[in-house]
Amino acid sequence: MVCRTTSLQSESSLLANGISLSQAPAAERSAAAWFCVRSQPKHEHIVAAGLRRLDGVEVFHPHIRQRRITRRGPVWFTEALFPNYVFARFDLQDHLHQVRYTTGVSNVVHFGDRWPTIAESEIEELRRCMDDSEMHTPLETLSPGDQVTIVNKAFYGIPAMVLKNLPAKQRVHVLLEILGQSTVADLKIEEIVPVQRVPAALQITDRRQSRAMA
């Protein structure tokens, strides 16, 4: 993802995951642009709702929905694609004060008096991965070689590799290792959870998992 910033003096890092910045043309300094709005912890939905009530402010709050393994078995979770961040498009001069004082907002990402912006093309690329509710649900399609985690009682939590998918029977053959020996198991589709393959436009979130946005 590439970001631009108004009156930027030199190249620097916007976010800890490597987003780069470049100077925006002077003509754009008073025009509406996309900014990163930092929320208080776990307040992204509150910030998004508050910003949507402001005239002249457009909001993009992407989510991801996926299955995870828990002590209760596989459970569907929905979470913000970028924890503690919401994207908002607004005129900096006209709306900055309103945005900063919206309930749940910690601040708008900036460096002193410089306010990084996100290219419209980057937002559109993310939007193409989402449905109408700004949600991305990875498809759990299976192919030979895919990595999965078994969630039945006998092999709960054990990683495995798909050998053969039998969609007509709703079953799959997987290869797993037990006591140092490779074993083939015939399992029901619902007894495994795929290791999610993330679309290219969303791969930035893999880096985000281990490093919070600065």
Give the Cα-Cα-Cα angle 195, 197, 202 (nearest 5 degrees): 130
| CA 13, chain centre distance (Å) | 19
CATH number of the domain encompassing residue 184? 2.30.30
Contact between 44 and 77 under an 8 Å Cβ cutoff? The reply is no
CATH number of the domain encompassing residue 133? 3.30.70.940
Is the same domain home to 184 and 109? no
Is the same domain home to 50 and 151? no
Q: Which domain holds residue 177?
A: 147-194
pTM exceeds 0.75: no
Tell me whether residue 207 is in a domain: no
Q: What is the per-residue pLDDT across 77-106, written as a single tens digit (0 to 9) for each?
A: 788 888 999 999 999 999 999 999 999 999
Residue-level pLDDT at 80: 86
Is the same domain home to 176 and 92? no
Tell me whether residue 203 is in a domain: no
Is the same domain home to 119 and 152? no
Q: Is the pLDDT of residue 180 over 80?
A: yes
Is the same domain home to 91 and 67? yes
Is the same domain home to 119 and 180? no
Q: What is the per-residue pLDDT across 18-59, written as a single tens digit (0 to 9) for each?
A: 333 333 433 345 589 999 999 999 999 999 999 999 999 999
Tell me whether residue 214 is in a domain: no
Q: Look at the chain and report how many structural domains it folds into.
A: 2
